[in-house]
């Protein structure tokens, strides 16, 4: 697949120093001397971009099952998360990075505490990460410091990681109901000064609007607009309950959206107006959310859930076609985070790729009339992933992550999860 969505069979991708330099049909490829050749017998496609996650929460996987989001956060998650130390986050992110890479996810947007640990544990096994440490103004989370101190830390973090190509730092004000106008103004000004992506939960559940109104006397959208936070790079997660007017406001500000279909189902949040947002010109990526909100970091499952929700919600089988959702985990997801150099196989893009093995029985039989893209979306799974490259470096081979000692990563995460639970 090149950037236009064309399938070349057979095709060739030339990579030099982590960058894709040529893509096209094999019979049109320019001759190149002195190169290493990798043959892929299945399908080579762009690495997937996960636009919203809290991967280190895998230490809390399963906690608070079946509680509504507000109680799940305040009664289960926050009391545990406030006890976290940096090494816990490192252990959770490292094991999670091996899960993400094995599942074909080469970039993940991570809203989590201890951004330094997140960045280190992501980049060590070769994952590309956009780490946006959260700011939550709730007395329970005061242990992490006030918003100004948090912003100072995030500014320093972005300076420290400025020269690492696989790490980008953003800012993660948690949600309009858990951050003040003063904090959001501070976020807007730091984001503008350093050109950082702001990543925030917006309109996930229905009760949030009334909560914001009670706290501020304004709607969440008025609050966001008035602080200037929408004027820079802004990625909103969930956006389940946006009105038509709010969708227009987001489109006017070039806000992008991370759609989390499985999490929205598990937490009974609702059905996000994905097609209306895309029709308004908003880039919508599909995302896993954290492994405590929905247990798996699997964008194949999310793609199918996105289609099912759109179709069953409108009782219309033509809603959200397979090629659209594949774009929403690759090129459109990359656009949503302001990285047009990711999520596509085209000259000038970073060489983040995955190979789907045709030895996976669920993909067969494949006949000449079959739509390969639709087959991958409907029948593909992490099990079908054979090889993965990030920045041109192979990190998964024969479905095994080459860069993480899985047994010791599981043991470390288990020990830390047990200590937290106690």
Residues that bind Zn ion (CB under 5 A): 289
Q: From CA 262, how far away is CA 241, in angstroms rounded?
A: 16
CB of 398 to Zn ion, least distance (A): 32
Q: Strand pairing partners for 390? A: 393
- Between 289 and 391, CB nearer to Zn ion: 289
* DSSP E strand boundaries for 136-180: 167-169, 172-173
Query: Cβ of residue 54: shortest distance to Zn ion, in angstroms?
Result: 6
Residue whose CB is less far from Zn ion, 52 or 344 = 52
Task: Please tell me the distance from the alpha carbon of residue 241 to that of residue 34, in angstroms, as a whole number.
Answer: 55
Residues 6+ apart with CB under 8 A from 141: 78, 81, 82
Q: Which is nearer to Zn ion, 266 or 375 (CB)?
A: 266
Provide, rounded to whole angstroms, the least separation between the CB of residue 96 and Zn ion. Answer: 14
SS3 178: coil
In the complex, residue closest to Zn ion by CB: 289
Q: Which is nearer to Zn ion, 168 or 289 (CB)?
A: 289
Residue 96 phi, psi dihedral angles, 5° rounding = -65, -35
- Residue 295 C-alpha from the chain's centroid: 15
> 198 and 232 in contact (C-beta within 8 Å)?
yes
Complex with Zn ion: residue 150 or 350, whichever CB lies closer: 150
- The strands making up 198-202's β-sheet, listed across from edge to edge, are 198-202, 234-238, 256-259, 284-286
Closest CA to 389 of 342, 336, 323: 342
Closer residue to Zn ion in complex, CB, 110/289: 289
Instruction: Quote the least distance from Cβ 53 to Zn ion, whole Å.
Output: 8
Give me the least distance between CB of 65 and Zn ion, in Å please.
17
Euclidean distance between CA atoms 267 and 313, whole angstroms: 17
Nearer to Zn ion (CB atom), residue 299 or residue 349: 299
Q: Which of 329, 310, 328 lies closest to 320 in space, CA to CA?
A: 310
Instruction: Give the nearer residue to Zn ion in terms of CB position, either 198 or 354.
Output: 198
**Cβ 290 to Zn ion, closest distance in Å?**
6
Least separation, in Å, of the C-beta of 258 and Zn ion?
Answer: 8
DSSP H/E element including 377: helix 372-379
- State how far the Cα of 53 lies from the Cα of 106, in Å rounded to an integer: 13
377 close to 325: Cβ distance less than 8 angstroms:
yes
Give the whole-angstrom CA distance, residue 46 versus residue 266: 28
Nearest distance, CB of residue 86 and Zn ion, angstroms: 21
Written as six digits, the tokens of 69 are: 């989001």
């Amino acid at each position: 697949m090149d950037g236009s969505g064309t399938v070349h069979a057979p095709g060739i991708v030339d990579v030099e120093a982590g960058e894709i330099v040529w893509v096209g049909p094999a019979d049109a490829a320019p001759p190149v001397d002195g190169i290493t050749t990798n043959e892929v017998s299945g399908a080579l496609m762009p690495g997937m971009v996960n636009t919203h996650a809290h991967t280190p929460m895998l230490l809390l996987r399963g906690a608070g099952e079946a509680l509504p989001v507000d109680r799940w956060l305040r009664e289960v998650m926050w009391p545990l998360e406030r006890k976290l130390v940096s090494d816990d986050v490192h252990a959770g992110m490292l094991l999670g990075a091996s899960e993400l890479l094995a599942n074909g996810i080469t970039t993940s947007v991570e809203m989590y505490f201890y951004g330094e640990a997140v960045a280190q544990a992501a980049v060590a096994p070769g994952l590309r990460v956009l780490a946006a440490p959260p700011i939550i103004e709730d007395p329970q989370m005061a242990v992490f410091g006030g918003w100004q101190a948090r912003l100072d830390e995030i500014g320093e973090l972005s300076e420290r990681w400025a020269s690492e190509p696989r790490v980008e730092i953003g800012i993660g004000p948690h949600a309009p109901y858990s951050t003040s106008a003063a904090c959001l103004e501070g976020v807007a000004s730091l984001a503008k000064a350093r050109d950082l992506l702001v990543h925030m939960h917006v309109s996930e559940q229905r009760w949030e609007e009334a909560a914001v109104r009670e706290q501020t006397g304004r709607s969440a959208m008025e609050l966001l607009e008035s602080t200037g936070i929408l004027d820079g790079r802004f990625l909103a997660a969930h956006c389940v309950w946006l009105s038509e007017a709010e969708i227009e406001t987001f489109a006017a500000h070039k806000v992008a959206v991370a759609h989390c279909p499985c999490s929205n189902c598990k937490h009974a949040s609702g059905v996000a107006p994905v097609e209306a947002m895309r029709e308004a010109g908003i880039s919508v990526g599909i995302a896993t959310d954290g492994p405590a909100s929905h247990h798996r970091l699997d964008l194949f499952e999310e793609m199918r859930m996105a289609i099912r929700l759109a179709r069953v919600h409108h009782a219309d089988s033509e809603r959200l076609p397979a090629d659209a959702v594949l774009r929403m985990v690759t090129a459109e997801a990359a656009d949503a985070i302001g990285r047009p150099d990711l999520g596509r196989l085209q000259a000038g893009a970073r060489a983040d790729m995955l190979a789907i093995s045709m030895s996976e029985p669920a993909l067969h039989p494949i006949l000449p009339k079959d739509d390969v893209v639709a087959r991958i979306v409907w029948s593909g799974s992490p099990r079908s992933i054979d090889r993965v490259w990030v920045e041109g470096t192979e990190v998964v081979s024969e479905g095994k992550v080459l860069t993480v000692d899985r047994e010791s990563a599981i043991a470390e995460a288990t020990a830390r999860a047990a200590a937290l639970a106690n």
